[in-house]
Amino acid sequence: NPRVRVKALQALTRISYPQLAQQLIRRIKSKSFRSLDFPEQKEYFSCLIANGSKEVAKELEKILCKWVLFGRKRYQTMRELAAVALASMNNPDSLAILQKGLKKRNKHIRRACAMALKQK
């Protein structure tokens, strides 16, 4: 049930549990993740940044800058969520990743980074 999973993720967001970060990253990178509803996807990213550390920024950069041949439209949501997560981390490393993303050739990456920096 998606509502139950969202509530569980919200509870895990309030409790800092760094060991959870790698499991969340694996779940986010799985193909089945893209079929989840947007609120649930957003909650996964919120939980990840609440429980993560500096390694999380590198994983979010990989998600943000991944080159996708098929399913670009569906992957755009992942890019935007990764960019917003980086902006909400609000540390020099994550902001540098977003600034670097503004210079990428891919317009979707540039757009996601610009949107995230505006929201910050």
Instruction: Provide the number of structural domains found in the chain.
Output: 1
pTM: 0.90
pLDDT score for 71: 74
Residue 63: pLDDT band by 50, 70, 90 thresholds?
very high
Q: What would the mean pLDDT of 61-90 be, rounded to a whole number? A: 91
Q: What would the mean pLDDT of 51-57 be, rounded to a whole number? A: 86
Tokens 């919120």 appear where? 46
Q: Which residues contact 13 (CB under 8 A, 6 or more apart)?
A: 43, 46, 47, 50, 51
Give one word for 90, left, alpha or beta, with left for phi > 0 and alpha for psi -120 to 50: left
pLDDT score for 10: 95
Q: Quote the mean pLDDT of the chain.
A: 93
Residue range of the domain that includes 86: 2-119
CB–CB of 48/88 below 8 Å?
A: no
Task: Report residue 13 as tokens.
Answer: 């967001």
Report d(CA 70, CA 113) in Å as an integer. 21
- Tell which wins on pLDDT, 64 or 55: 64
CATH number at residue 97: 1.25.10.10
